[in-house]
Amino acid sequence: MSAQERRALLLLVAGFTVWSVAFVVLYGMQALGCAFGWGDWHRPMLIGAYLLSLLPLGWLARQRPYSTGEPATTLSISALWANRAALVAGILVYFPVTFATVCI
Amino acid sequence: MSQSDLSPIRLHRALNDIWGTPPGLGRLSSVNHTVLGRRFMVVALIFFAIGGLLSMLIRAQLATPNSAFVGPEIYNQIFTMHGTVMMFLFAIPMFEGFAIYILPKMLGARDMAFPRLTAYGFWCYLFGGSILIIAMLMGVAPNGGWFMYTPLSSRPYTPGINADVWLLGITFVEISAVTAAVELFVTILKVRAPGMSLIRMPLFAWYMLVTSGMMIVGFPPLILGSILLELERAFGLPFFDPTRGGDPLLWQHLFWLFGHPEVYIIFLPAAGALSTIIPVFAQRPILGFRAIIAAIVAMGFLSFGLWVHHMFTVGIPHLALAFFSAASALVAIPTAIQIFAWIGTLASGRPRWDIPMLYVAGFFVVFVIGGLTGVMLAMVPFNTQAHDSYFVVAHLHYVLVGGFVFPMLAAIYHWMPHISGRQSLYRLSVPAFWFIMVGFNLTFFLMHLTGLMGMPRRISTYPSNWGWDWLNLLSSVGSFILTMGFALVLADIVMQFRFGRPFRRDPWHAGTLEWAIPTPPTNYSFAALPRIDAPGDQLAPRLIGPQLAGGRGYLGFPRDGQMETLGVDMVTGEAEQLIVLPQSSFLPLWTGLATGSIFVALLFGFYWLAPLGALLTVVLFLLWTVKLGRKHDSGPVDIGMGEQAPRDVECPGNVTVLANRTAVVMDAILFSSLLFGGLFLLVVAPNWDGLAPLDLPLWLLALALMASTAGAGFSWLARRANASGLLIGSAVAQVLAVVVLAVLMAWVPEPTGHARQATMFALLAYATIHTALGALMSSYGIWRVQQGFVSTRRNTELVLAWLWNGYAAAALVPALGLVLMLALAGDGA
């Protein structure tokens, strides 16, 4: 039970932690690319980082809760919802890398 | 001694003797969470009244066009102080005080994890706030707006001490926020009643856990920004001066990195109070418990991805605007989930419409309007139009008053009987609510209109032909009605204390543990600690209370005159350790005064005095530990209910270790902000072209790194082998690192000449301070070993020495790496 709950607690914050790291990486790449003139490579690199960030978010969003063992199940379900929210937030917030003007 | 030996009255007297606060001047030595929580709230309400009076002056000035009531200079001070007082001296300390007062009781603990730290935080708050108020009375209050934008707040444009008062006063006050963040985080995770697993914690504790986590991440950027700006103002280090390679936008980033999460840091505790109050009055458990937990975690993270929406008009690329705009709109969803959960709870329950529910209803109306205008402002085109107009003033007041003041008033009416031991008579409560509701909406709804009509923020007066006259006059009338409402609430509170009906226990039929203790609360809160086997907000305090008062539970007996409570496994909630808390002491007061001397010395330019104040503060902190700990191993001891647990000093995962780890995280975030600042200036700031690379003595960098790594290595070996003698090697190596880093600081050519050198200087100063801290922690370990406080089982000091020495060495790598990059700037870097 304890191990289950500890895993659920980690999962609860895992999705949005990945989301935060992706945010910092993408915002940093945007600034560095503009400062150092990455030119035509800038957007493909941003899109690559965007898609890469969705991989762990997608994996976390599929981590099913335990079928037995209250109260661990409760925390696991919260974790599942938080991770799905992180995936949706990742898709929506970073989607502008595909079309928005990068340096202006 | 066991729990059956004493009658409830004798048990009460025995515990009261141990936990009581001395009378007279001895009250200043109190470390009790009930006493300090009340003091925090009372002082916060006094500051609220001051902030309210300032708002009356603002509205008096703006009631009519071309007003000559106060001049522009005084007006600048008034609106700056209104925002500063309300945000830093009222809202944050108010919820801190409330959490300090209520959380241990809700969690089934006798006190917070670090009572002296609570007291120290209170004194820092009181003294820091007093500096600001005294400065205002002397006519030298901050006058650059509550967010102190540079270059307006830089020396050339604010030559007096006004901005220094803000930077130093607020940093002093923020010590209390930092200490509260660490303490709340550790207390929620470790100091609960046995059986209260994480998932059984009441929702308010979940809210405060997320809030404290946000404070740990959110406050360091502000503290760093304040330090850098004060360094610029006092010593000319040009971090924000674009003519010397600095950038005013760096200040905006650092401020709003704190400033936007701050809104949620204020809102979440209020939402936690609502999540506690609404089920009580709906007479059913809250709907969507699991969704709410997911929502507050989402809010906690998303709120850190919004800060640039305060900077939409400063000239930021479209892609970055789109990131922050999307995140700003998205954060409305977890907020809405909570609002729907509360509405659903009421809709599916059997609501009782008592006074707290009036304010809950007021919250729904006001906060939802504020949330909707927030989504409007998240859209870049609209934001560009409404930026810096009264529309923003209206929005932020709807969010903050709706999201904090209305829930606070609901909480006051809900929990005031807990503090006073009396129930309200309600003669004034209903008219007070309507005065507040009508006055607030009259004041601030109209500001949406004046804003959309183009009225900018912070103007001290306006001409009469722009169509704003009547709207402003009505806003001012509304503000006076609002103030009358607050005056009635104050009178109502006084009446409750004086004439309220006494009650036996739990007048609301609530489900949380704070109602299981006597009211007004006893010094020790719980005569015995309960065993929790149900959700923490669905308990039966009326049934539990008498059992605990009779000593039937954990620790239902006095022992050796010590203040005892229990520490638990942070996930499962099983009893893990017996925590022995320090008793009343004047040391927090003296330490607060010593800390204050640093800020006062800096404020008045006596820079040579500041290090002495810092030294005195460190010495006083070390004195805190003199009587703490034990000189022999005692093994597991009786904790009642047939169970045993080791004392905290013999437990590897004790609260002191967790608090220090948390402090290291906070420190690392401050350092990350500094690294971000350095990189930001290197990449973005103007006037970096044409710089010549500096000939950095690389061997000194290598020597500092080797010495500090050796210091960390010795401390690691000392902990691993429990060989305290190795700490001497650790301390010596770190002192060597300090000397080398100090030489490097002295080497930096003309730190005031350009932001590059200034940043190098700041990075080296950070590294020097932390290697010195590593040396200090090793020396402290040596001292404690010599005193006999350390053994194989009692090795906290060794763990802490490794923690801080390891961090110092680890931080040196990126610090020196960035120093090197900066030195090479101008040479293709």
Dump pLDDT digits (tens) for B369-395. Answer: 999 999 999 999 999 999 999 999 999
Residue B827 has pLDDT above 80, yes or no: no
- What sign has the CA pseudo-torsion B790, B795, B800, B802? positive
d(CA B177, CA B657): 20
Residue B794 has pLDDT above 50, yes or no: yes
Residue B692 lies in a domain: yes
Chain A contact for B619 (CB, 8 A cutoff) = no
Q: How confident is the model at residue B463 (pLDDT cuts 50, 70, 90)?
A: very high
Query: Is the separation of the CB atoms in B31 and B582 below 8 Å?
Result: yes
Residues of B (622-641) whose Cβ lies below 8 Å from A: none
Q: What is the DSSP string of B452-503?
A: HTTPBTT-S---TTSS-HHHHHHHHHHHHHHHHHHHHHHHHHHHHHHHPEE-
Phi, psi torsion values for B430, nearest 5 degrees: -70, -50
Chain B CB contacts of A46 below 8 Å: 319
CA dihedral B188, B191, B195, B196 (to 10 degrees): -20
Chain A contact for B338 (CB, 8 A cutoff) = no
Residues 6+ apart with CB under 8 A from B619: none
Contact call for B326 and A104, based on CB within 8 A: no
Query: Is the separation of the CB atoms in B215 and B265 below 8 Å?
Result: yes
Residues 6+ apart with CB under 8 A from B350: B282, B283, B284
Chain B CB contacts of A23 below 8 Å: 305, 323
Residue B317 has pLDDT above 50, yes or no: yes
pLDDT score at A3: 74
Neighbour-count burial for B212-232, b at 16+ CB within 10 Å, e otherwise: bbbbbbbbbbbbbbbbbbbbb
Distance to chain B for A41, nearest Cα, Å: 16
H-helix or E-strand spanning residue A12 = helix A2-36
Residues 6+ apart with CB under 8 A from B795: B719, B722
C-alpha angle with apex B554: B553 to B557, nearest 5 degrees? Answer: 95
pLDDT score at B627: 86
- Looking at residue B128, its amino acid is G
If DSSP states are collapsed to H, E and C, what string results for B209-269?
Answer: HHHHHHHHHHHHHHHHHHHHHHHHHHHCCCCCCHHHCCCHHHHHHHHHHHHHHHHHHHHHH
Task: List Cα–Cα distances, A80 to A64, B268, B530, in angstroms.
Answer: 7, 22, 32
Best mutation site among B256, B319, B537 for testing chain A: the one with the most A CBs within 10 Å? Answer: B319
d(CA B425, CA B670): 49
Cβ–Cβ pairs < 8 A, chains A and B: 108
Task: List Cα–Cα distances, B148 to B37, B229, B248, B607, in angstroms.
Answer: 30, 10, 11, 23
Neighbour-count burial for B418-440, b at 16+ CB within 10 Å, e otherwise: bbbbbbbeeebbeebbebbbebb
Q: What is the DSSP string of B63-120?
A: SSTT--SS-HHHHHHHHHHHHHIIIIIIIHHHHHHHHHHHHHHHHT-SS-S-HHHHHH
Residue B160 lies in a domain: no
Contact call for A26 and B199, based on CB within 8 A: no
Place of tokens 């997320």: B210
Query: Is the separation of the CB atoms in B647 and B202 below 8 Å?
Result: no
Phi, psi torsion values for B581, nearest 5 degrees: -95, 150
Nearest neighbour of A97 by CB, restricted to B301, B319, B684: B319
Nearest neighbour of B318 by CB, restricted to A2, A94, A104: A104
Higher pLDDT, B7 or B437: B437
- Looking at residue B373, its amino acid is T
Q: What percent of chain B has pLDDT over 70?
A: 99
Nearest in space to B105 (alpha carbons), one of B513, B613, B571, B608: B513
d(CA B639, CA B269): 32
d(CA B776, CA B727): 10
Phi, psi torsion values for B529, nearest 5 degrees: -90, 140
d(CA A53, CA B505): 53
d(CA B427, CA B431): 8
Query: Is the separation of the CB atoms in B645 and B637 below 8 Å?
Result: yes
Instruction: Round the average pLDDT of chain A to a whole number and report it.
Output: 90
Residue A42 has pLDDT above 80, yes or no: yes
pLDDT in tens, B216-262: 999 999 999 999 999 999 999 999 999 999 999 999 999 999 999 99
Range(s) of the domain holding residue B811: 688-824
Query: Is the separation of the CB atoms in A89 and B330 below 8 Å?
Result: yes
Query: Is the separation of the CB atoms in B712 and B770 below 8 Å?
Result: no
pLDDT score at B722: 84
Q: What is the DSSP string of B767-802?
A: HHHHHHHHHHHHHHHHHHHHHT---SS--HHHHHHH
Nearest neighbour of A93 by CB, restricted to B300, B330, B683: B330
Contact call for A89 and B684, based on CB within 8 A: no
pLDDT score at B829: 43
Chain B CB contacts of A19 below 8 Å: 301
If DSSP states are collapsed to H, E and C, what string results for B318-337?
Answer: HHHHHHHHHHHHHCHHHHHH
Secondary structure of residue B581 in the 3-state scheme: strand
Place of tokens 């005064």: B593
Secondary structure of residue B2 in the 3-state scheme: coil
pLDDT in tens, B88-115: 999 999 999 999 999 999 999 999 999 9
Q: B637: which strand partners? A: B645
Query: Is the separation of the CB atoms in B639 and B566 below 8 Å?
Result: yes
Q: Which residue on chain A is closest to B316 by alpha carbon?
A: A104
Q: How many domains does chain B have?
A: 1
Residue B3 has pLDDT above 70, yes or no: no
Residue B632 lies in a domain: no
Kindly indicate whether the ipTM for this predicted assembly is greater than 0.85, answering yes or no.
yes
Residue B520, preceding bond cis, omega within 30 degrees? Answer: yes
pLDDT in tens, B638-672: 999 999 999 999 998 899 999 999 999 999 999 99
Q: What percent of chain B has pLDDT over 90?
A: 94
C-alpha angle with apex B684: B683 to B686, nearest 5 degrees? Answer: 115
Residue B799 lies in a domain: yes
Alpha helices by DSSP H, B149-202:
162-190
Place of tokens 């700990």: B629
Residue A69 has pLDDT above 80, yes or no: no
Distance to chain A for B327, nearest Cα, Å: 6
Q: How confident is the model at residue A83 (pLDDT cuts 50, 70, 90)?
A: very high
Compute chain B's Rg from CA coordinates. Answer: 27
Q: How confident is the model at residue B4 (pLDDT cuts 50, 70, 90)?
A: low
Residues 6+ apart with CB under 8 A from A87: A15, A54, A57, A58, A60, A61
pLDDT score at B653: 86
Residue B372 lies in a domain: no
Residue B702 lies in a domain: yes
Instruction: Round the average pLDDT of chain B to a whole number and report it.
Output: 95
Residues 6+ apart with CB under 8 A from B22: B29, B584
Contact call for B683 and A35, based on CB within 8 A: yes
Task: List Cα–Cα distances, B80 to B87, B130, B253, B324, B738, in angstroms.
Answer: 11, 16, 20, 27, 40
Place of tokens 């659920």: A8
Neighbour-count burial for B9-28, b at 16+ CB within 10 Å, e otherwise: eebbebbeebbbbeeeeeee
* End-to-end CA, chain A: 53
Query: Is the separation of the CB atoms in B579 and B646 below 8 Å?
Result: no
Chain A CB contacts of B327 below 8 Å: 89, 93
pLDDT score at A72: 54
Q: How confident is the model at residue B823 (pLDDT cuts 50, 70, 90)?
A: very high
Secondary structure of residue B19 in the 3-state scheme: helix
Query: Is the separation of the CB atoms in B116 and B588 below 8 Å?
Result: yes
Contact call for B197 and A35, based on CB within 8 A: no
d(CA B802, CA B751): 33
Q: How confident is the model at residue B1 (pLDDT cuts 50, 70, 90)?
A: very low
Q: How confident is the model at residue A4 (pLDDT cuts 50, 70, 90)?
A: confident
How many Cβ atoms are within 10 Å of B138's Cβ, its own excluded? 10
Residue B154 lies in a domain: no
Q: How confident is the model at residue A73 (pLDDT cuts 50, 70, 90)?
A: confident
Residue B826 has pLDDT above 80, yes or no: no
Domain ranges of chain A: 2-98
Contact call for B326 and A96, based on CB within 8 A: yes
Chain A contact for B364 (CB, 8 A cutoff) = no
Nearest neighbour of A96 by CB, restricted to B197, B200, B323: B323
Best mutation site among A1, A2, A5 for testing chain B: the one with the most B CBs within 10 Å? Answer: A5
* End-to-end CA, chain B: 71
Q: What is the DSSP string of B558-578?
A: --TT-EEEEEE-TTT--EEEE
pLDDT in tens, B549-563: 999 999 999 999 999
Contact call for B304 and A20, based on CB within 8 A: yes
- Provide the CATH number for the domain around residue B774: 1.20.120.80
